Amino acid sequence: MYPGGATGETKERIYHPIWLTLHLWNVILTEELTNYDEAFSPMSAFNNHPLDKMFHPASIAVVGASSSTSETGWVRRLLDFGYKGEIYPINPKVTEIQGLKAYPSVPAVPNPIAYAILNIPAHLVPQAMRDCVAKAVKFVHCFAAGFSETGTEEGRRLQAEITKIASDGGVRLIGPNCMGVYCPESRMTFGEDFPKEIGRIALISQSGAEASRLIFLCQDVNLYFSKVVNYGNAADLDAPELLEYLTNDKETDIIALYIEGVKNGQRFMSAVKQCLKKKPVVILKAGLTKNGADVAAFHTTAVTGSKAAWDYFLKQTSAISTHTMDEVADILQGLNRIKKLWSERVAIVGRGGGIGVIATDICERAGLIVPPFSSETHENLLQIKSDAGAMLRNPMEPKLGMEGAADFYLKGLPIIDQDTETDIILIQMAVDIYGGHTPGLIQNVSAAAYALCAVAESIKKPIVVVLFAGGHTDTVMAVAAARNILTKAGIPVFSGVEAAARSLSKIYDYYRSIENLK
Amino acid sequence: MYPGGATGETKERIYHPIWLTLHLWNVILTEELTNYDEAFSPMSAFNNHPLDKMFHPASIAVVGASSSTSETGWVRRLLDFGYKGEIYPINPKVTEIQGLKAYPSVPAVPNPIAYAILNIPAHLVPQAMRDCVAKAVKFVHCFAAGFSETGTEEGRRLQAEITKIASDGGVRLIGPNCMGVYCPESRMTFGEDFPKEIGRIALISQSGAEASRLIFLCQDVNLYFSKVVNYGNAADLDAPELLEYLTNDKETDIIALYIEGVKNGQRFMSAVKQCLKKKPVVILKAGLTKNGADVAAFHTTAVTGSKAAWDYFLKQTSAISTHTMDEVADILQGLNRIKKLWSERVAIVGRGGGIGVIATDICERAGLIVPPFSSETHENLLQIKSDAGAMLRNPMEPKLGMEGAADFYLKGLPIIDQDTETDIILIQMAVDIYGGHTPGLIQNVSAAAYALCAVAESIKKPIVVVLFAGGHTDTVMAVAAARNILTKAGIPVFSGVEAAARSLSKIYDYYRSIENLK
C-alpha cells in the first residue's frame, strides 16, 4: 500500500528513544567534509543550481528504515523503483535491511550522504537533524509529522527548532510532514506505483495525496513528470524558491502548483511572473473558502491568505488558475499537446441531435464559440455524406456507428481542417451511446482511434477528443483502450465535454494573455 | 447496435414506393371500430387517462418492419425486450418476420392495432397515417425523420400534412423524428439494452440520444424509470401535455425533462407549477446559448426561446435546472435516495490533507458549509482514533487503508451522526489514492462498502458517497463493485466531490423552495 501521508509508517517505526539518545548522534565530521563533492554524481549537473542535487542525489540515507519484510518502506520503495545511487538504511536493531547493510546511525555510515529521509518520531528529529548537519548532508526530507500542523505549542516549538538547526548548519529542509521528491530520471519516488516514464512537467505540491492523484491522473493519459516535490509545512523550502528553480530547469516545460499558502507573497508573485516569461504555470490554490482556509491551516499550517488577495494575485498574472486536480490534469494535457491556441472557434464532430446541442451550450458557456461551418465546408461534407437526417452543420454528425465514425475521420476531418469558420476540432466519440453493449466494441473503438491518429498527423488544427465511458465494463474497457491509443499519439483526451471546453477556454485565455505580455 | 437516431434504419428499409401506392392502403374500417375497446388491455388502466395506453398498448404494428436477420429492428427489439402484447410486422415482401406472421399492410391486419411505429421514408408517412386513422390506431410513433428538422419547405409541408391527418382522425402523434416510448412495465423499448427494471422516474425528452444516455447513466447507479418518451419534433404531443399526464401518474415520483423548446410556454409554466406541488421536476433546457439555440432549431425545429425568458422561467419555478445529462442523473439519484434535505451543513469523511482542503473548497463554492465538528464530537472521535497526524476535525480522516476506512465507518459514523454542527455525511472512499494498485483491492473496497451499508441503516443523517475511479483497471473494477453494492442499498454514489456538492446544493435549494411554497 502506498503511504498516503506522513502517518503511514509511524506505527511501524523501529527506533527506540533510549537507543537514540545513547548511540545515534556521534558526530564524525572530518571525513564527510572531505568527501563532500564526491557525494554528488555528474548526472546531477543539469542546471548548475544547488537544488539540482535535491532531485539527483548520489546517495540517500533512510533514518528509521523499516526492517519489516511485509510492508513497503522507504528502502524497499527506492530499490524497487530503481534508484541507482547508494542507499544507507539506518536502523540500530538490525545489520541488514532489504539486502543492504544497515548502519546503527548516520555518523556510522562510512561514506558521504547526499540526502536523508527522516522516518522517525517528531521528538527525535532535532537530534537527527544535528547529526545530518555534522555529516554535511545537504538535503533532509522530514517525512515525519507531528510539528506545527498539530496546532500544539510543542509542535510549533519542535518545528522552529529543527528549522534553525538546518538553517544554521547549511542543510536544506524539505517539510516536515511531507512525502518529498519524485523524480523518474533519478528514480527517486514516494509512491511505489508511480510511473518510471520521464516527462517534462513539474509539480510543486503542498499535499502529498493530491500530488499522487495528479501523477496517476496524468499517467492515465500517458502524461509524465520531470520533477515532483511535496514540501508539506514548508518550514524551509517553499513554493517561491522551488518555482524559481524550475523556471530555469532544462528538464521542465510546464509547472503546476498545489498551494495552501506561501510565506513570502511578494517573492511568489515575482517568481510566477518570471516563470510565465518562459513556461506556463498552472496553480491550484486550495483553502480559498472560509472553512477550506481553516482546514488548510490545520493541514500544513499554511497562512492561506484572504480570498480577495488571492483573487487579485491570480488575476494579476497569466497563470492558469484551477479548482481541482482533475482540472489541473486536463490543463496540463492541453498545454503539453496543444502547442498554441489562437482562437476559441470550435468545430464539434461527434453525435449531433441533443448531444450536439448540449455540447454547443457547454462550449459557449465556457467562453468558446461554435459557429456554423462555411458554405464551402457544407458543400464538401455533402459530397462524402449521405445518411438521411444526419447533421452536416456544426456540430457535425459522422455516419453512425464506430465504423461510420472511423470512415468520417479519414474523409471528413481534412474538410473540416479547411473550414474558415472554425479553428479547433473537438471530437466526441460517444462510446457510451452508439457503441455501447455490442460485440467487438473494443476492437471497433480502437480501430476508430487508430483512424483518428492516422489522419491527425496531416490535420493542422488542434484536435481534442472527448471519451466518456459510463459505468459498463465493456464501454469502460473500450474507452481505456482508445484513450491509450490516442494519448500515446499525442492527442489530448478528456473525460467529458465540460472538462474539454473548460480546459480549452483557459488555455486560450493563457495564450492570449501571454501574447499581450509581449 | 442501438439505433441512435431516426436515421439508424432508413438505409435498410424494405418498402418500395410503387408497392406502397398499389397495395398498402386499402382501408378496412368497420371491424377495427368494433374492436376498438379490446385493443387496450386492463393492464393499461393505471391512471384512467387517455395517455396511459400510449405506454401500455395491447398491440403494436411495426410499419416497415425489417426482414433482415442480421440487424436488430423494431420487431426483434420488442420481442427481445419481452413486450407481451401482439406485434404485427407490416412488410409486403415477406410472410414472416422474426417468427411472426407479417402482413402486407395495416388494413390487412385482422385485429385491432393500438399503437403503430412508422419505420418508412418520410414521403410515405402521410398515406400510412391515413391508414392508421382508418384502422382507428390511437397512437402513431413516427420514427421516420425527414420533416421540419430538414429545414426544407417540403419537410415542413410533410410535417403539417401528417399532423393534420392525425389530428383530424383522432390519432395522437409521437414525433416525427424520434425514438418513441420506453416503458419497462409494458416492455416497450427503443433500446435493446435498456434495463428491464421498473423504477419511479419519468423522462420527457426531445432527444433520443440524450434519453439513452440518461437511462444508461442511471442504470450505472441502479436507478430505473417508470416511463420515458422521446417526442422529437413535437408536431402533436409536446412537453406540457406529457408533464400534465405524468404529474398524476401513479407510477412516477420524479420527472426529468430534456427540452429544446415548447410551443405553448404558458401551458408549460402552468404544468411545471402544478407538478411541483406533487413531485420534483428536473429540467435540462438545451439551446440556451446563441449557437446552441441555432443547433436545437435544426435538430427538432424547436423555437428555443430567449435565454432571458428561460432564465426568468426557471427562476419563477422551483424546478431544478441543470446543464448536462450527467448532472440530471446525479440530481435524480439524490432526489430518489435523499428523501429530505433540511440543511447545507456537510461532514466530510474520507481523506484529510490536501484532498480534504479541496473537498471543503468545492462544497463551500457550491453553496454548502463544512463547519468544524462540535467539541463533543471531537472528544468522542479521539476515543476511537489513534493514528498519529490524522485529522479529527471536519473533513475527518479515517484510519488509512480500506480496512481502516471500514473500521471507521462502523465506529465513527454513529459519532458523526450525533454531531450537532453537521447534517449531511459525505464520504470520499478515495479508492484511486489509498487503495490503488494493491492485491485484493476489489475485495477490500467491497468489504468497506458493505460495512458502510451495514452502519448506514442506523444513521439518521443523509449519507452520500463519492467514488472516483481514475483510469486503472483495478480501481475502475473496485469502484464499479462498490458502486453497485452501495446504490443497491439505496446510498447515492457520485463520481466526484464536485458532482456530489452541486447536486446536494441544488436539492437543498429545491426542498427549501418547496417549503416556502407551502
pLDDT (tens digit, 9 = 90+) per residue, A3-38? 333 333 333 333 333 322 222 222 222 233 333 333
Give B-chain residues touching A8 at CB under 8 angstroms.
Answer: 400
Q: Mark B40-65 as b/e (b = at least 16 C-beta within 10 Å).
A: bbeebebbeeebbbbbbbbbbbbbbb
Burial class (CB in 10 A: 0-12, 13-18, 19+), A437: middle
A187 inside 8 A of chain B by CB: no
Q: Quote the pLDDT of residue B303.
A: 59
What is the pLDDT, as a whole number, of residue A400?
A: 67
3-class DSSP state of A230: strand
Q: How many CB pairs under 8 A join A and B?
A: 283
Shortest Cα distance, chain B CAs vs residue A167, angstroms? 25
**β partners of residue B349:** B396, B427
Put simply, whether A388 touches B (Cβ < 8 Å) is yes
Q: What is the pLDDT of residue A430?
A: 80
d(C-alpha A58, C-alpha A116), whole Å? 11
Indicate whether A41 pLDDT > 70.
no
B11/A387 touch (CB, cutoff 8 Å), yes or no: yes
Answer whether residue A458 shows pLDDT above 80.
yes
Q: Which cell numbers hold the place of A239?
A: 513554493
Contact B360 A295 (CB under 8 A): yes
Question: Of B209, B365, B390, which has the smallest distance from its Cβ to A354's Cβ?
Answer: B209
Which among B292, B437, B480 has the least Cβ separation from residue A193?
A: B437
Mark residue B403 as left, alpha or beta (left: phi above 0; alpha: psi -120 to 50; beta: remaining).
alpha
A:494-513 residues touching chain B, CB 8 A cutoff = 496-498
Closest CA to A221 of A473, A503, A4: A503
Separation CA A471–CA B218 (nearest Å)? 9
Taking contacts as CB-CB distances below 8 angstroms, the residues of chain A near B294 are: 372
Question: Are A109 and A143 a contacting pair, CB within 8 Å?
Answer: no
Q: Is the ipTM of this complex over 0.90?
A: no
Any chain A CB within 8 A of the CB of B425? no
Comparing A328 with A477, the larger pLDDT belongs to A328
Contacts of A213 in chain B (CB under 8 A): 355, 432-433, 470
Record: contact B471-A355, CB cut-off 8 A: no
Average pLDDT score over residue span B104-122: 97
User: For position B369, what pLDDT does the model report?
Assistant: 97
| CA-based nearest distance B340→chain A, Å | 25
Interface check A228 vs B, CB under 8 A? no
pLDDT at B37 over 60: no
CB-based contact A364 B287, cutoff 8 Å: no
- From B61, B25, B226, B46, select the one nearest B138 (Cα to Cα): B61
Question: Per-residue pLDDT averaged across B258-274, rounded?
Answer: 90
Looking at every residue in chain A, the average pLDDT score rounds to 86
Per-residue buried b or exposed e for B419-428, using 16+ beta carbons within 10 Å of the residue's own CB: bebbbbbbbb
pLDDT, chain B, mean: 86
pLDDT given for residue A43 in this prediction: 45
Amino acid occupying residue B49: H
Q: With an 8 Å Cβ cutoff, is A206 touching chain B?
A: yes
User: Directed axis angle between helix B401-418 and helix B375-384, to 10°?
Assistant: 150
Q: Answer whether B427 touches A (CB < 8 Å).
A: no
Q: Give me the residue from A213, A289, A393 closest to B433, CB to CB.
A: A213
- Per the CB < 8 A criterion, the answer to whether B111 and B41 are in contact is no
Q: Which letter does DSSP use for residue B242 in this model?
A: H
Indicate the residue of B361, B369, B390 with minimum beta-carbon distance to A287.
Answer: B361
- Which band of pLDDT confidence, cut at 50, 70 and 90, is reported for residue B240? very high
The cell numbers describing B56, all together, are 401500455
From chain A residues 81-110, the ones with a CB under 8 A of any chain B CB are none
Closest residue in A to B322 (Cα) is A358
DSSP labels for A293-354? HHHHHHHH------HHHHHHHHHHS-PEEESSHHHHHHHHHHHHH-S-----BEEEES--HH
The predicted-structure confidence for B310-340, as pLDDT tens digits, reads as follows: 888 888 889 999 999 999 999 999 999 998 8
CA distance B437 to B435: 7
The answer to whether the bond into A176 is cis (omega within 30° of 0) is yes
Distances B152 to A386, B114, B128 between C-alpha atoms, Å: 17, 32, 21
Q: Which residue of A has its CA nearest to B300?
A: A353
Minimal CA separation from B388 to chain A, in Å: 6
Helix (H) or strand (E) holding B180: strand B180-182
Q: Distance between CA B342 and CA B360 in Å, rounded?
A: 19
Cis geometry, peptide bond prior to residue B121 (ω within 30 degrees of 0): no
